[in-house]
């Protein structure tokens, strides 16, 4: 008996879209971990699948879930797009569920500016900072540090 298995026929696979040039078809690369029997170490093994994308909704870089078709649609297309798991560019914080750009949370644009101004004044009051400049902080021209020293 051989220790090596034949290729894996999975019903559900998850991978990254690497091409959408063909009509209603997405080219998806799936990475699996395969054990090397001699070194007893796992290595990445990549396989490319062609999936039917009826609505042409995925773009290059999306993480998608593929479902195996009961019969082939064509010579190479054996799967269909079940869902887009992660859309490229739409990063969501897993803890809060809010969209993120870099290190900043993207707030929805539907909030009114009055709420924003009210929250800013509340924050300023918490920090004991007034919105208007105080008259005691005005500088005179003679006391400025950039005036030349008298000789």
- pLDDT per position in the chain (151 positions), as tens? 445 555 556 799 999 999 999 999 999 999 999 999 999 999 999 999 999 999 999 999 999 999 999 999 999 999 999 999 888 887 777 777 788 877 777 776 555 555 666 777 777 777 776 655 555 555 555 555 555 555 4
- Report how far apart the first and last C-alpha atoms of the chain are (Å, whole number): 101
pLDDT at res. 64: 95
As beta bridge partners, residue 50 has 27, 77
pTM of the model: 0.58
Architecture of the domain whose range is 12-89: Beta Barrel (2.40)
Q: Confirm if 133 and 140 have CB atoms less than 8 A apart.
A: no
Q: Which residue has the tokens 């290729």?
A: 7
DSSP string, 139-151: PPSTT-TTSPPP-
Q: What whole-number distance in Å separates Cα of residue 32 and Cα of residue 42?
A: 9
User: Which residues, in sequence order, are bridge partners of residue 66?
Assistant: 13, 81
Cα separation, 61 vs 89, whole angstroms: 9
How many whole angstroms separate alpha carbon 28 and alpha carbon 14?
Answer: 9
The DSSP-derived string for 4-61 is S------SEEEEEEEE--STTEEEEEEEEEEEETTTTEEEEEEEEEEEE-TT----TT
Residue ranges, CATH 2.40.50.140, the chain = 12-89
């Amino acid at each position: 008996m051989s220790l090596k298995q034949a290729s894996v026929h999975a019903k559900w696979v998850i991978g990254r879209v690497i091409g959408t040039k063909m009509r209603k078809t997405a080219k998806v690369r799936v990475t699996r971990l395969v054990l090397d029997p001699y070194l007893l170490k796992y290595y990445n093994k990549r396989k490319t699948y062609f999936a039917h994308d009826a609505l042409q909704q995925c773009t290059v870089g999306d993480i998608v879930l593929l479902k195996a078709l009961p019969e082939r649609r064509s010579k190479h297309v054996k799967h269909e797009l079940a869902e887009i798991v992660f859309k490229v560019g739409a990063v969501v914080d897993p803890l809060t569920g809010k969209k993120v750009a870099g290190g900043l949370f993207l707030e929805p644009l539907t909030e009114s500016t009055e709420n924003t101004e009210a929250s800013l004044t509340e924050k300023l009051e918490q920090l004991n900072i007034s919105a208007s400049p105080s008259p005691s902080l005005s500088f005179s021209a003679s006391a400025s540090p950039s005036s030349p020293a008298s000789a």
